Amino acid sequence: MAPINTLVSYSVQSVKVLDEDGSVDISLMPELSPEQLKALYEHMVLTREFDERMFKMQRQGRLGTFARVKGQEGAHIGAAFALRPEDWLVPAFRETGALLLRGLPMQQLLQYWSGDERGGAFPRSLNTLPIAVPVGTHMIHAVGIGWALRYSGTEAAVLTFFGEGATSEGDFSEAMNMAGVFQAPVVFCCQNNQYAISLPFTKQTASPTVAQKALAYGMTGIRVDGNDVFAVYRVTKEALERARLGLGPTLIEAFTYRVTDHTTSDDARRYRSEEEVEAWKRRDPIERLAKYLRAAGLLDDDGVAAVQAEAENRVAEAVTAFEAIPPISPEETFKHVFADLTPPLAEERDALLRRLATGASPGATKGE
């Protein structure tokens, strides 16, 4: 019997296009028109403004707990910018910019993070699954959609996002394995922001990179500078194209950093240094793009101010629209999670409606 060579050699390709000083590697620069370049910038600024405003609203008690995306705009917006309308987006919970880019109304996202069930019922026309807070569960759904697309001969692909913490879940392994075996047209985009709440990447996995995990599943793995919107766009566009052509799935690791707390319930100062955060703030993805646009003659001081003012207006309008939405009815709170309500939930709903019919308050009393 011939010996099985158990030594597998591999290398992880790492892609960077846009430098911190705003200069680009021309040989790798993706094709983007001036309009697209400006749209990318405007969208990243809008996402940051929305994120800041949501944070203030949460602190004012006008919104529930939510996960900020500040510092990660290059990673998830760069990737989502490569999607076509017929593709599918399967998000986790830290992709605000991708959801807005997909066309989700801002006030609906505010509804979602305020705990209003209607916020999670995304318009079907967006080909976008709802936010998944349970870590990693949605990657399996992404593969299911991808497999269905392949089975039905539809030339479209799926882009799913998750954090590096999610790669320790069994769901990641199941999803990656199935996508590899069935050549499902799925692009797995890991926003490696280096912390899963307080757990640093080095304690999450013994692998030096997330990208190399692709090797075991027989798919392409690639690491990209996640604060470089051009690099993320480029590799995601190529991966989506391969997927649409039936050439299989890809794992992309967008290496980035969460410059704010994990969620509004966290205090990151308890587990990482100010110096570390400051160093990453200097690699800000929006600043980097702005430097490039200025050098290309596509942006100046007036332009920066105008984009910021427009973002503030749009966010203010969305907040006004959100706050004018009438409260959800008790009955409707049961409507948007399951297509067919589970028997225990149906029982709870009926009990609540019976109780309300007597004129009682919705709150349960002891013993009920």
Q: How far is the CB of 299 from ligand TPP (least distance, A)?
A: 29
> Which of left, alpha, beta for 103 (phi over 0: left; psi -120 to 50: alpha)?
left
Tokens 């989502």 locate to: 80
Q: Residue 240 in contact with residue 187, Cβ under 8 Å?
A: yes
Cα separation values, 344 from 85, 219, 335, 339, 364, Å: 37, 42, 14, 14, 16
Q: Is 258 a catalytic residue?
A: yes
Our finding on whether 227 is near ligand TPP (CB under 6 A) is no
Name the segment binding ligand TPP (CB under 6 A); options: 78-86, 160-168, 208-216, 289-297: 160-168
**E strand or H helix at 109:** helix 106-113
Residue nearest to ligand TPP (CB): 163
Binding window for ligand TPP (CB under 6 A); candidates: 96-104, 128-136, 139-147, 284-292: 128-136
Determine which residue in the list 43, 53, 68, 94 makes contact with ligand TPP, applying CB under 6 A.
94
Q: Which of 298, 261, 310 is nearest to 45 (CA)?
A: 310
Q: Assess whether 336 carries a catalytic annotation.
A: no
If the CB atoms of residues 42 and 261 are measured against ligand TPP, the closer one turns out to be 261
Q: For ligand TPP, which residue of 49, 73, 164, 225 counts as binding (CB under 6 A)?
A: 164
Out of 10, 151, 271, 354, the active site residue is: 271
From CA 250, how far away is CA 235, in angstroms rounded?
10
Q: Tell whether residue 166 is a contact of ligand TPP (CB under 6 A).
A: yes
Residue 35 CB, shortest distance to ligand TPP, in Å, is: 31
The rounded distance, in Å, linking the Cα atoms of 56 and 6 is 54
Among the residue ranges 50-58, 157-165, 307-315, 331-339, the one whose residues contact ligand TPP (CB under 6 A): 157-165
11-23 burial by CB neighbour count: b if 16+ within 10 A, else e?
ebeebbbbeeebe
Interacting residues with ligand TPP (CB under 6 A): 94, 133-135, 162-166, 193, 195-197, 262
Among all residues, which ones are annotated catalytic? 258, 262, 271
